[in-house]
Amino acid sequence: MSGTAPGVAAESRRAAVLGRPIAHSCSPALHRAAYAQLGLPWRYDAIEVGEAELAGFVQHCGPEWAGLSLTMPLKRAVLPLLDEASELVRLVGAANTVVLGADGRRVGHNTDVAGLVAAMREAAADAGTALGPGPGPALVLGAGATAASALAALAELGCSAVLVRARRPTVAEAELAGLAEALGLPATFAPWPAPGEPLPGREEAAVVVCTAPAGAGDDLVPAVPASPGVLLDVAYAPWPRPLVSAWRSAGGAAVAGDVMLLHQAVAQVRLMTGLGPDVEVMRAALRTELVGRLP
């Protein structure tokens, strides 16, 4: 559905992305572009909110509020504040979206998984290859809430197994093994790659998702394999991503977190407004924002 919806969607409403730090967020550019294209007189802000302030902020959101986008460290902290959560949120234990009803109900959703799946499929399509069904084994670099969403995305893509490599593999296993089992995705856990250790090629890891912070991902540039598969580096700043550039230079298909951000934001706009935004309008706004940040 596109165009302006009758009733509440056409009224002036508010939404925002919350997190700490938050100044780097590109979400305002994405959501504002969608509202303009849909003809909605809505407002979308980036607001710095930490875990300690989250409950108070959510409780004071009045009927003018339509929804919240959440970034770290709030995706798990918000769970006790929800009146209802989607099955996916309950499964992965993280919500990046809260839809706020006029009656005050707070419903949690996870659009990160949809964003991950769409970004990886887009990377493969741009390289002239198909991703799935059953693309083979996968590798996840890093742990935490985004890694949990990555496991769900890899299960949706039909990956046969996953290797999770983390700074603290025993902690990662404690946090993610149960989820992997629930997803029917055989998982093993190992330490973060040692300096100089190459990452597995496409036969050993057809799909690679780097959920680590930008600096850690940049350190993996020398580890790019000779025959890389599909890579998603969830970081997008600074842009362009060195790991993505090196991966493509080696002949692999790769995208950065801005593509994931785009597709998860499209899903957020649908949830908050009940309308279908133009993906390419939002993509153009995001690209303009990123280019404007270049030194």
Q: Measuring CA to CA, which residue among 95, 94, 70 is closest to residue 143? A: 94
Concerning whether 75 is annotated as a catalytic residue, the answer is: yes
DSSP 218-277: HTTGGG--SS--EEEE---SSSS-HHHHHHHHTT-EEEEHHHHHHHHHHHHHHHHHSS--
Q: Catalytic pick from 32, 75, 109, 165?
A: 75
**CB-based contacts of 167: which residues, under 8 Å, 6+ apart?**
143, 191, 192
Q: 128: exposed, middle or buried (C-beta count within 10 Å: 0-12, 13-18, 19+)? A: exposed
Give yes or no for a contact between 89 and 145, defined as CB atoms under 8 angstroms apart: no
Give yes or no for a contact between 122 and 97, defined as CB atoms under 8 angstroms apart: no
User: How far, CA to CA in Å, does 196 sit from each of 57, 190, 222, 224, 225?
Assistant: 45, 16, 7, 10, 11
Q: Measuring CA to CA, which residue among 148, 255, 265 is closest to residue 207? A: 255
As a whole number of Å, the CA-based R_g of the chain is 19
Query: Which residues are 165's β-sheet partners?
Result: 141, 190
Q: Quote the DSSP letter at residue 168.
A: S
Conformational region of residue 136, where left means phi above 0, alpha means psi within -120 to 50, and beta covers everything else: left
- Active-site annotation, residues: 75
